[in-house]
A and B are shown apart, each in its own frame.
Chain A
Amino acid sequence: MIEARNLTKVFHDKKRGEIRAVDDVSFTCRPGRIYGLLGANGAGKTTTLRLLATLLRPTAGSATVAGFDTVAEPERVRASVGFLATSTALYGRLTARETIAYFGRLNGLSEAAIVARVARLADELDLHEFLDRRVEKFSTGMKQKTSIARTLVHDPAVLIFDEPTIGLDVMTARNIVRFVRDCRTRGKTVIYSTHVMSEVEKLCDIVGIIHHGRLVAEGSLAELGQRYGVQDMEEIFIRAVGADQEEAA
């Protein structure tokens, strides 16, 4: 379970002054559900997810992930989270097996548990062919599969995906989407940030639309369609963001 309460993050830039990247954002994400965080580039999605993953500290507000406060217990939060993003790359000079084992050790797994976990993930994700090859020689698809294994090695209760399909070919992107669905089936709490409307339609149970750091709309696809009088996700997004801009004006 993820609970964000009035989460705010302000950056200070010498040229641009104060930037409110995340502004008073509150939402709840429950186990067995996929929460889609939808927004344009620079809307505040990545900052929100980094706050939840304890990579950043909130300026105001708070969040709990798997029952742990992100500021008071950051290490326990991270032990409960699997974080996958295009910005979370792999070590090129390690093999897939070494990579998975490394993150298993950092998550406190015993050597026996790591061996068992690597074998299971290799079966599930079909890693056997390249398990003992160095990551630097991998195709994009192989890297993504290894990243997924790295994310799942400690069997986290919460999974955070930050635009995981950006720059990927269709087949690799489909693998990711399938994997995210599997997480929901297993009862994980999933938060998925994207600006690809079709992915939201395919995956998300609840959608939060974020614009200029603020959560401007939230609900299931059906609820949002009803609220804005359209069924198409792109239209919903345009109307939600447009209404916010009108309010701001």
Chain B
Amino acid sequence: MNGHNILTVYGKELRDSLRDRRTLLSMIIIPTLMIPGIMAVAVGVSAKMINKARGEVPTVMVLGGDDSPVLRAALAADPKLHLVRTAANWKQQISDKQLRAAVEIPAGFDAALDRGTPAEVKIYDYDGELRSGFAVGELRNFLNDYREKTVTARLAGRGLPVALVKPFEVKTQNVAPPEKVGGNLVGGLIPYLFILLCYTGAMYSAMDLTAGEKERGTMETILCSPVARTDLVLGKFLMVLTASLTAALISMISMGLTFVVGGILMGATRMTAAAKAGPLPMLDPAGLLLVLAMVLPVAVLFSAVLLAVSLFAKTIKEASSYVSPMIMLIIIPAMMGLMPGVELNARLALVPILNIALVSKELVSGVFHWQYLALIFGSTCVYAAAALAFCVHLFNREEVLFRT
């Protein structure tokens, strides 16, 4: 192995890549814009939709209850509900989203309340529909309130205290630090994006440096030089790794800036009390740095595998048809790490990508399981070394280099 030759090849590839718009796009521009873009679209659009839905007074139809004028009058007086005229096609109206919900009052409801006999009120909704859900919420709030007032009035009529039916209160309070709550909220998403960007960052560079060179006829030129195959592959590998890590690093900086700028723009208006410390989820900074350290062997693994797979191809188009479907092999284990209930254990710590996704979720929450970290780092390094050795082996196979 000749360090001078490896660095010479690397230096040339770096210069060449920095002059290539497509490499710059995958290495710098996409990672810079992807996270703020996703955040802006996801947060902006969903916040706008939710706020708009919340601001709307839901249309509600009352079914029956002609003999219960007290309840009907109370419903009509609620400013948070917009009652519409009863119609026979109310089910169709809910399905067509013209009506958000319907409430059915049983016959003799008012009289039943006076007698103290139980009665059942039914709410009809469009399950899973956002605005219908808000309407159900408002109806439930109204009916709970109405029930409490009724109970309070009955107890008062009998000279009994309200505490008789409410002997104690239940309150929940978050005690976890904000960064742990933040990590739990977005902890799975961050390594997922890192892993994906590591892969896409390396993808174009790997194809360009192998299949691209074959396609342009420069592979034979470099193979004629005295540089050893191992030095050549290591120089190229360093470039692909640079592209991969640059994408990950830039995405991390971009993510940090997104949280800071997003926080300033959105203002401190969080819904959950647990995240009061900031407008956006807080993450453990040491954990974030450790995530980047854990991503290093993954980037080595991706770079070596992508370089090897792309080397088989004769053209960038052919290489693309190999490496693009491989994204699924990255996404599936990375997504499994996002699933609730999938927790890190010794066995899963050996599954590449999934192990990083799971441990990263813990790291950004400030949880450090050092024995798992060592196991994951070690095993990923072994996989990466094997992939790199395979890549060197392929560069020594003439049927791969000169495939016709």
Pairing of A with B: yes
- Chain A interface (Cβ within 8 Å of chain B)? 50, 53, 55-57, 75-76, 78-79, 81, 83, 85-94, 98, 102-103, 105-108, 134, 150
Q: Of the listed stretches B12-20, B44-52, B148-156, name the one at the interface; the rest are far from the partner chain.
A: B12-20
The residue of chain B having its C-beta at the shortest distance from the C-beta of A92 within the complex is B216
8 tightest Cβ-Cβ pairs between the two chains A and B: A89-B217, A79-B226, A83-B224, A88-B221, A78-B226, A93-B19, A106-B225, A105-B8
B210-232 at interface with A (beta carbon < 8 Å)? 216-218, 220-221, 223-228
B8→A89 contact, CB < 8 A: no
B1-45 at interface with A (beta carbon < 8 Å)? 4-5, 8-9, 12, 15-16, 19-20
Distance from B367 Cβ to chain A, minimum over Cβ atoms (Å): 46
Per a CB cutoff under 8 Å, which of A81, A85, A98, A107 touches B220? A85
B224→A56 contact, CB < 8 A: no
Q: Contacts of A93 on B, CB cut-off 8 Å?
A: 15-16, 19-20
Distance from B166 Cβ to chain A, minimum over Cβ atoms (Å): 76
Number of B residues near A (Cβ < 8 Å) is 23
Per a CB cutoff under 8 Å, which of A50, A86, A108, A134 touches B226? A108
Q: Contacts of B216 on A, CB cut-off 8 Å?
A: 89, 92
Distance from B91 Cβ to chain A, minimum over Cβ atoms (Å): 65
B127 within 8 A of A: no
CA distance A103 to B4 in the complex (A): 13
Distance from A29 Cβ to chain B, minimum over Cβ atoms (Å): 18
B120 within 8 A of A: no
CA distance A133 to B122 in the complex (A): 80
Distance from B314 Cβ to chain A, minimum over Cβ atoms (Å): 13
A76→B226 contact, CB < 8 A: yes
The residue of chain A having its C-beta at the shortest distance from the C-beta of B401 within the complex is A55
CA distance A150 to B218 in the complex (A): 12
Chain B 179-201 near chain A by CB (<8 Å), digits 1 or 0: 00000000000000000000000
- Chain B interface (Cβ within 8 Å of chain A)? 4-5, 8-9, 12, 15-16, 19-20, 216-218, 220-221, 223-228, 398, 401-402
Distance from A156 Cβ to chain B, minimum over Cβ atoms (Å): 10
Known: A78-B226, A106-B5. A94 touches B12 (CB 8 A): yes
Q: Contacts of B224 on A, CB cut-off 8 Å?
A: 53, 55, 78, 81, 83, 88
A103→B218 contact, CB < 8 A: no
A78→B221 contact, CB < 8 A: no
Q: Contacts of A86 on B, CB cut-off 8 Å?
A: 217
Per a CB cutoff under 8 Å, which of A57, A88, A102 touches B217? A88
Distance from B400 Cβ to chain A, minimum over Cβ atoms (Å): 12
Distance from A249 Cβ to chain B, minimum over Cβ atoms (Å): 29
Known: A87-B217, A93-B19. A75 touches B223 (CB 8 A): no
Per a CB cutoff under 8 Å, which of B9, B217, B402 touches A55? B402
The residue of chain A having its C-beta at the shortest distance from the C-beta of B221 within the complex is A88
CA distance A17 to B9 in the complex (A): 37
CA distance A29 to B19 in the complex (A): 42
For the residues of B in contact with A, the DSSP-based class is helix
Distance from B15 Cβ to chain A, minimum over Cβ atoms (Å): 7
CA distance A102 to B217 in the complex (A): 17
Q: Contacts of B223 on A, CB cut-off 8 Å?
A: 55
Q: Contacts of A87 on B, CB cut-off 8 Å?
A: 217, 220
Q: Contacts of A108 on B, CB cut-off 8 Å?
A: 226
CA distance A57 to B225 in the complex (A): 16
In the complex, besides A76-B226, A88-B218, 17 extra interface pairs with C-beta distance below 8 angstroms are A50-B402, A57-B398, A85-B220, A89-B216, A89-B217, A89-B218, A89-B221, A90-B218, A90-B221, A92-B216, A93-B16, A93-B19, A94-B15, A98-B12, A98-B15, A106-B8, A107-B226
CA distance A151 to B402 in the complex (A): 21
Distance from B225 Cβ to chain A, minimum over Cβ atoms (Å): 4
A55→B15 contact, CB < 8 A: no
Give the most central of A76, A85, A86, A88: most B CB within 10 Å.
A88
A102→B398 contact, CB < 8 A: no
Per a CB cutoff under 8 Å, which of B225, B228, B398 touches A107? B225
A103→B225 contact, CB < 8 A: yes
Known: A102-B8, A106-B5. A78 touches B225 (CB 8 A): yes
Distance from A113 Cβ to chain B, minimum over Cβ atoms (Å): 14
Distance from B324 Cβ to chain A, minimum over Cβ atoms (Å): 24
A106→B19 contact, CB < 8 A: no
Distance from A193 Cβ to chain B, minimum over Cβ atoms (Å): 14
Give the most central of A55, A79, A102, A106: most B CB within 10 Å.
A106
A75→B228 contact, CB < 8 A: yes
Per a CB cutoff under 8 Å, which of B19, B221, B398 touches A56? B398
CA distance A106 to B20 in the complex (A): 23
CA distance A78 to B228 in the complex (A): 10
Q: What are 24 A-B contacts with C-beta separation under 8 Å?
A: A53-B224, A55-B224, A55-B398, A55-B401, A56-B398, A78-B224, A78-B225, A78-B226, A79-B226, A85-B220, A86-B217, A89-B220, A90-B218, A90-B221, A91-B12, A91-B16, A91-B218, A92-B216, A98-B12, A102-B8, A105-B8, A106-B225, A107-B225, A108-B226
B227→A106 contact, CB < 8 A: yes
Q: Contacts of A106 on B, CB cut-off 8 Å?
A: 5, 8-9, 225-227
Q: Contacts of A134 on B, CB cut-off 8 Å?
A: 19
The residue of chain B having its C-beta at the shortest distance from the C-beta of A77 within the complex is B226
Q: Contacts of A75 on B, CB cut-off 8 Å?
A: 226-228
Distance from B2 Cβ to chain A, minimum over Cβ atoms (Å): 9
Q: Contacts of A81 on B, CB cut-off 8 Å?
A: 224
Distance from A13 Cβ to chain B, minimum over Cβ atoms (Å): 9
CA distance A198 to B221 in the complex (A): 27
The residue of chain A having its C-beta at the shortest distance from the C-beta of B13 within the complex is A91
Distance from A54 Cβ to chain B, minimum over Cβ atoms (Å): 8
Q: Contacts of B218 on A, CB cut-off 8 Å?
A: 88-91
Q: Contacts of B398 on A, CB cut-off 8 Å?
A: 55-57
